[in-house]
């Protein structure tokens, strides 16, 4: 494990898995959140802004002198924490209102209890008072857009299911998929009130067809990069769950389906059943 002393601002771990891509990890929290900075010759895209611990803008400014646009892959709290530090923020319209509202302390505080942390929080972040201010988006991404960074471009793909406005970003020429919270090697959640299993399966059917077009996927949680060969397996898994596969375990009223390299967590209402 990374020692706290090696971390940027006592919180972030930064690596450069390939030219023009930086992985910004938050290894001291069990969620193992990852944001990605993608740098072109003209501008840079920051895919998500993390948990709001530390100053991700200062970190990013040390990595690139290009103008930075934030693209939120979706509006779950663990990926929008640093939004307030940036001027330009893009998101899918169906989650824009979450940014406009901000996130109150009561929503954040339970996520920073000692049992969820793998090391000390840096000074300057206090879970007792932390809250995310409203950060109205400065632009909307519907899917289908191409973001030109200069020498590198990212195609925006609307990928709902985990959340209604989820997006993934494809660098077709670079054979790279930023798979965000839609596909990562861990517990795939179909839990939020606005998550939808059938929609998630349809999204994964489309992403599975990209598996042969990319050499690596960069997920928003857990080990990164991820083998794109997992994408068709995730498609098959969601299909099996939707078709009535028996869960392997339960955690409260959450049904847990285990597969090789990932799992699917959902509430019974996603299958049209009572909890
Ligand atoms: Zn999420
Ligand atoms: Zn997440």
DSSP letters, the chain, are ---GGGSBTTTBEEEEEETTEEEEE-TTBTT-BEEEEEE-SS-EEEE--TTS-S-HHHHHHHH--S-EEEE-S---GGGSTTGGG-S-EEE-GGGHHHHHH-B-HHHHGGGGSGGGBSSPPPTT--TTT--BPP---SEE--SS-EEE-SS-EEEEEE--SSSTT-EEEEETTTTEEEEETTS-SSEEEE-STT--HHHHHHHHHHHHTTTTT-SEEEESBSSSSB-TTHHHHHHHHHHHHHTTPPPSEEETTEEEEEETTEEEEE-GGGGT---
Q: Look at residue 274 and tell me whether its pLDDT is greater than 70.
A: no
Please state the rounded mean pLDDT for residues 155-171.
98
Please indicate, yes or no, whether residues 57 and 126 belong to a single structural domain of this protein.
Answer: yes
Ligand 1 centroid to Cα of residue 194, in Å, is 11
Confidence bin at 273 (pLDDT 50/70/90): confident
In a domain, 166, yes or no: no
Say which CATH number the domain at 81 has: 3.60.15.10
- Collect residues with CB below 5 Å from ion ligand 2: 78, 181
Ligand 1 centroid to Cα of residue 237, in Å, is 19
What is the tens place of the pLDDT at every residue in 121-153? 999 999 999 999 999 999 999 999 999 999 999
Ligand 2 centroid to Cα of residue 31, in Å, is 7
What is the tens place of the pLDDT at every residue in 86-105? 999 999 999 999 999 999 99
Please indicate, yes or no, whether residues 96 and 188 belong to a single structural domain of this protein.
Answer: no
Ligand 1 centroid to Cα of residue 195, in Å, is 10
Please indicate, yes or no, whether residues 134 and 190 belong to a single structural domain of this protein.
Answer: no
Please indicate, yes or no, whether residues 188 and 111 belong to a single structural domain of this protein.
Answer: no
Confidence bin at 226 (pLDDT 50/70/90): very high
Please indicate, yes or no, whether residues 6 and 105 belong to a single structural domain of this protein.
Answer: yes
Which ligand has an atom closest to residue 189 CA?
A: 1
Please indicate, yes or no, whether residues 11 and 144 belong to a single structural domain of this protein.
Answer: yes
In a domain, 177, yes or no: no
Please indicate, yes or no, whether residues 28 and 96 belong to a single structural domain of this protein.
Answer: yes
In a domain, 169, yes or no: no
In a domain, 25, yes or no: yes
In a domain, 168, yes or no: no
In a domain, 91, yes or no: yes
Q: Residue 215: its pLDDT value, please?
A: 97
Ligand 1 centroid to Cα of residue 122, in Å, is 24
What is the tens place of the pLDDT at every residue in 254-271? 999 999 999 999 999 999
Full residue range of the structural domain in which residue 154 is found: 1-158
Confidence bin at 4 (pLDDT 50/70/90): low
Total-model pTM: 0.96
Looking at the structure of the chain, the number of domains it has is 2
The mean pLDDT value of the chain amounts to 96
Ligand 1 centroid to Cα of residue 77, in Å, is 8
């Amino acid at each position: 494990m990374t020692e706290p002393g090696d971390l940027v601002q006592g919180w972030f771990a930064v690596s450069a898995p390939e030219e023009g891509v930086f992985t910004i990890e938050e290894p001291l929290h069990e969620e193992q959140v990852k944001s990605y900075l993608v740098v072109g010759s003209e501008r840079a895209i920051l895919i998500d802004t993390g948990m709001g611990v530390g100053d991700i803008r200062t970190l990013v400014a040390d990595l690139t002198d290009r103008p930075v646009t934030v693209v939120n892959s979706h509006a779950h709290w663990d990926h929008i924490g640093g939004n307030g530090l940036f001027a330009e923020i893009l998101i899918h319209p169906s989650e824009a209102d979450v940014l406009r509202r901000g996130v109150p302390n009561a929503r954040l505080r339970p996520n920073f209890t000692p049992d969820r942390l793998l090391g000390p929080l840096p000074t300057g972040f206090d879970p007792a008072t932390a809250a995310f201010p409203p950060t109205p988006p400065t632009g909307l991404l519907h899917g289908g857009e191409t973001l030109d960074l200069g020498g590198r471009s990212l195609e925006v793909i609307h990928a709902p299911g985990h959340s209604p406005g989820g997006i993934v970003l494809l660098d077709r020429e670079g054979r790279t998929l930023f798979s965000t919270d839609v596909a990562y090697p861990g517990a795939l959640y179909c839990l939020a009130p606005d998550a939808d299993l059938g929609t998630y399966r349809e999204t994964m059917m489309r992403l599975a067809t990209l598996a042969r077009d990319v050499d690596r996927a960069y997920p928003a949680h857990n080990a990164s990069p991820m083998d794109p060969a997992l994408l068709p397996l995730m498609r098959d898994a969601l299909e099996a769950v939707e078709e009535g596969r028996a869960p392997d375990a339960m955690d409260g009223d959450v049904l847990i389906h285990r597969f090789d390299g990932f799992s699917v967590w959902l509430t019974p209402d996603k299958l049209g059943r009572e909890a």
